[in-house]
Structure 1
Amino acid sequence: MKVGEGCTCSNLLPKSSGLLISMIYERPVSGRPEPKTRARLLKYSKAISLDENTANRWILLSEGNKKVQRINQQQPYPDHPDRFTDYKQVLSRESLTGCCYWEVEWRGEVDVAVSYKNISRAGESDDCLFGFNNKSWSLYCNTNGYTFCHNNIKTPVSGPVSSRIGVYLDHRAGILSFYSVSETMTLLHRVQTTFTQPLYAGVYVYYGTSAEFVNLQ
C-alpha cells in the first residue's frame, strides 16, 4: 500500500522570498483571490505543532513537537483515545479554519495530510489512514514524485520534486493547495470541495524517514 523511499532536505528559503507560483489560479468562491507568490502566502502562515496524544507509539516527536521521525523503538506514550494505534501518523494540536499556510520539510518518504478530527484512530482499516477515507486528504511524497489521495482514490501528480511542501488552505472557499517549494515554487495539486469541519495538519512517516513543520513566523 505504501511504497517509495529516499530524499535529502534542502536549505531553508528566506521568509521574504517572493517567488512567483508557476500556475494561474481561479478565483475562489469566497471572493478572496488566492495568493500568487510565496511572500503573499506567508502572510497566512500558521504555526503548527504536533499533538503527542495522537502520535503512534513508533514515531518520535522532537524540536518542540514540530518534527516527527519513524523509529524502531516504541515510545512510552500513555493510552489515549486520540492515538493512532497502528498507522505511523500524527495530527496537529491546532485546528485549521480560515486561510492558513504552512510548510513541511521532509526526508525519505512521507504523506503530508489534512484531516478532520473525527477520523478513526484504532486499527488498520482505511478509516484510519490519511487519504484513504472521506475525512482526510493526503499528498504522498518521495524522490520519484507525488501522489494525491482522498477517499482511497489515488491521483498521480506531476511537478518538480523538492524536500519542502507548502500547503495553503482557504477553509471557507473549500480550497486546499499543495506546492513544491525550492528556488522556484510550483502548484502541484489543488482541491476544490466543501469542508464541513475544522481541519488538522497531519503527517504519515515511513521507516527511517522524518518530517518537520517549518517555523515561518
Structure 2
Amino acid sequence: MASADTEEKLSCPNCLNTNADPVALKCEHNFCWVCIDCVLDTQKGPGGHTCSERKTDRPVREKQIHLYNRAEKHDNGIFCTYCVDSPVPAVKSCVMCEASLCDTHLRVHSKSAEHVLIEPTTSLQNRKCSVHKKILEYYCTEHNTCVCVSCILFGDHRGHRVETFDAVSERKREKLRNVLRRITSKTEEAEKRVKSQQDCRREIKGKAAGITERVTALFKDIRRQLDDLEKKTLSEISRQEEQVSQSISKLIQQLEIKKDELSREMHYMEDLCNMTDPLTIIQESDRHTFHDTEERDNENREIDDKQIYTVCCLDEGLISVTLHTGLSVIATGINRWINVKVATDMFMDIKTAGNDVQISGDLKTAGWSPVDQKHSETPGRFQYDQVLSTRSYSSGRHYWEVETSESGVWFVGICYPSINRTGRQSWIGDNNKSWCIRRYDNVQYSVIHDSKWIQLPHNVSCQILGIYLDYEAGQLSFYELCDPIRHLHTFTANFTEPLYAAFSVYKSWVRIKS
C-alpha cells in the first residue's frame, strides 16, 4: 500500500524513527538530519564517506521538500482515516465524509460536488450544521450565522434572506480590507510618532550633552576662579601677618631698650638711696632727670598702647573687601551664564489690592483681613482678595520666590494687565488671561488656567515656592523648594501681553522673598 510505502520512506534506517526533517542522499536513501550528521562525523579522514545502507562516495545532503511536507503533516497528527494498518499523513479532508485522505485514497474518492475537499483538518464538525448534519453552504443575514439547505427549506431560517459564502466572504473581505487600511494608516501614523519621539529623544540627548558640557565648563571655571581668589586672599593674609610681625619685632626691640634704660636708672637710684653723704645725694639728684612723674608715665603708656594696638591689628576690612569683590565677579559671571534675572525689585502694587487684602509696609507681604481695609478707589483695584506686582515682564527669563502660610487658601501665578478686575472672571486662573497654582490648607496643589483645574499628585513638603518665567519660550514653571527641589507643574502658552505676578489670599498670607 501507498501508506506503507510512505511510512517506509519517512522512516530513518539509522534510528528507525519517522523523519521530522528528512534528508535525501545521492544513493536515494533518506535519513533524518541528526543521524546523517552523526554518521558523517564518524567518517572523517581518508577513504571518503559511505552510506550505512550502500557503500558510495561521500553522500550529498539534499533536503526532500516533498517528504518534508509529508513529515510536517505527519507531525501535525492528521492521518488518513482509511489507512488503519499504519498511519499515513493526510493530504486532504472531505467535509461530506468527515474524513481525511492520503494520496492513494484521494484518487478513488468521490468527485461529486457535494464532497467538498479542504486542507487537512481535525475540525470537520464545524463545517456541518449541528442540527441537520449537512454541509454549511449559505449565510443567514438576519441571524448572522452559517446555515445548510435544510435550515433554509424547513428549519429555523425558513424565509430568511440568505447569501452564498462567496458573496458574504467577499463583503467581509472588503470590510476587513477597510479595517486593514485604517489599521495600516494608524500603524504608519504610530511609526511616524515613534520616529518623531526618537528624533526628540536624540535631540534631548544632544541638548543634555551640550548643557552638561557647558555646566561642567562653568563649574571648572568657578573652581579656577575660587582657587585664584583663595590664593589671593591667603596671600593678603600672609602679607599682613608678615608686616605686623615685623612691626611687632621693632616694637619689642624699642621696649627692650626702654626696659634696659629703666633698669639702669633703677640701679643708679638704688645706689643713691644707699649713700650716706647728703651732699652727694642732692648733687646727683639735681644733675639727672628721672622718669618719676605719674603724668609722664601715663602719657608714655597711652602712646605705647596705641602703637601696640595699631601694630597688632590685621586689616580685616581689606580681606573682606577682597573676598566680596572676587565673589561678586564670580557671581556676575554665573548670572550671565544662567541668563535669569532674579526679581529682587518685585513689590506688591497696593493700588490693585482688594479691600480684604492687607499689604505690609515693605510691600512684600499680602495677608487676608476680615476687616475692610478701605483702600482708595482706583481703576485697577480688584473686587476680591487679590493683588498684582508693581512691575511687569514682557521678555526674558525671570525668577522669584514666594513664602506661604500653612493654613488657608492662596493662589500664586501671573496674569495679563487686561484681566477683569470685578466679577467671577476676575479670579486668577478662572480666565484665559491668567495662570496660577493653588493650595488649600496645606493639603495638595492644583493648577488652574481658563477655569480648567488640574489637581497635582504631590503632597505639600514645604512653604516656599520658586516661580520661573521664560517669556519667549512661553513657559511658566512652579517648583517646591524642599530638599531636593521638586518640579510641580509647567504651563506652556504663547504670551501676547506683558505679565504681572499675581497673588490671592483667603485666611492666609503670601510673602515675596527678597
Residue 88 of structure 1, aligned match among 378, 382, 385: 385
Q: How far did 1:82 drift?
A: 0.2
Alignment pair present for 1:199 and 2:499: yes
Instruction: Supply the AA of the counterpart residue of 2:393.
Output: L
The separation in 2 between residues aligned to 1:195 and 1:43, in whole angstroms, is 18
The separation in 2 between residues aligned to 1:45 and 1:149, in whole angstroms, is 25
The separation in 2 between residues aligned to 1:76 and 1:151, in whole angstroms, is 30
Alignment pair present for 1:144 and 2:447: no
The separation in 2 between residues aligned to 1:96 and 1:179, in whole angstroms, is 19
- RMSD over aligned Cα atoms: 2.1
What is the DSSP-based 3-state SS (H/G/I as helix, E as strand, rest coil) of the residue aligned with 2:391? Answer: coil
The separation in 2 between residues aligned to 1:63 and 1:140, in whole angstroms, is 25
Alignment pair present for 1:119 and 2:436: no
Q: How far did 1:157 drift?
A: 1.3
Alignment pair present for 1:153 and 2:445: no
What is the DSSP-based 3-state SS (H/G/I as helix, E as strand, rest coil) of the residue aligned with 2:431? Answer: coil
Residue 364 of structure 2, aligned match among 66, 71, 75: 66
Residue 170 of structure 1, aligned match among 464, 470, 478: 470
The separation in 2 between residues aligned to 1:203 and 1:42, in whole angstroms, is 25
Instruction: Supply the AA of the counterpart residue of 1:154.
Output: W
The separation in 2 between residues aligned to 1:42 and 1:141, in whole angstroms, is 30
The separation in 2 between residues aligned to 1:194 and 1:183, in whole angstroms, is 32
Instruction: Supply the AA of the counterpart residue of 1:166.
Output: G
Which stretch shows the higher mean deviation, 73-82 or 147-156? 73-82
Structure of higher RCO (CA pairs closer than 8 Å, 6+ residues apart): 1
The separation in 2 between residues aligned to 1:160 and 1:72, in whole angstroms, is 29
Question: Which structure's CA Rg is the greater one?
Answer: 2
Residue 342 of structure 2, aligned match among 21, 26, 45: 45
Instruction: Supply the AA of the counterpart residue of 2:385.
Output: K
The separation in 2 between residues aligned to 1:147 and 1:42, in whole angstroms, is 29
TM-score by length of 1: 0.76
Instruction: Supply the AA of the counterpart residue of 1:140.
Output: R
Structure 1: gaps spanning 5 or more residues:
1-25, 28-32
Indicate if the aligned counterparts of 2:416 and 2:498 stay in contact, CA closer than 8 A: yes
Instruction: Supply the AA of the counterpart residue of 1:214.
Output: K
1:60-105 residue CA offsets vs partner (Å, 9 max, x unmatched) = 00041110000111113110010001x2110000102311000110
Structure 2: gaps spanning 5 or more residues:
1-203, 206-210, 216-333
The equivalent residue for 1:188 is: 488
The separation in 1 between residues aligned to 2:354 and 2:458, in whole angstroms, is 31
The equivalent residue for 1:105 is: 403
Indicate if the aligned counterparts of 1:115 and 1:200 stay in contact, CA closer than 8 A: yes
The separation in 1 between residues aligned to 2:509 and 2:386, in whole angstroms, is 11
Indicate if the aligned counterparts of 1:177 and 1:190 stay in contact, CA closer than 8 A: yes
Q: How far did 1:212 drift?
A: 0.1
The equivalent residue for 1:17 is: none
What is the DSSP-based 3-state SS (H/G/I as helix, E as strand, rest coil) of the residue aligned with 1:53? Answer: helix
Q: How far did 1:44 drift?
A: 2.6
1:188-210 residue CA offsets vs partner (Å, 9 max, x unmatched) = 00112110011000111012x10
Select the structure that is richer in strand: 1
Q: How far did 1:55 drift?
A: 0.1
Select the structure that is richer in helix: 2
Alignment pair present for 1:132 and 2:443: no
The separation in 2 between residues aligned to 1:139 and 1:63, in whole angstroms, is 26
The separation in 2 between residues aligned to 1:84 and 1:212, in whole angstroms, is 19
Indicate if the aligned counterparts of 2:445 and 2:459 stay in contact, CA closer than 8 A: no
The separation in 1 between residues aligned to 2:430 and 2:374, in whole angstroms, is 28
Q: How far did 1:214 drift?
A: 0.3
1:23-74 residue CA offsets vs partner (Å, 9 max, x unmatched) = xxx79xxxxx7xx9xx977953112100011000111000411100001111
The separation in 2 between residues aligned to 1:94 and 1:138, in whole angstroms, is 18
The separation in 1 between residues aligned to 2:364 and 2:393, in whole angstroms, is 16
Query: CA 1:133–1:159 in 2, change beyond 3 Å: closer, same or farther?
Result: same
The 4+ residue runs of structure 1 with deviation greater than 6 A are 39-42
The separation in 2 between residues aligned to 1:173 and 1:42, in whole angstroms, is 14
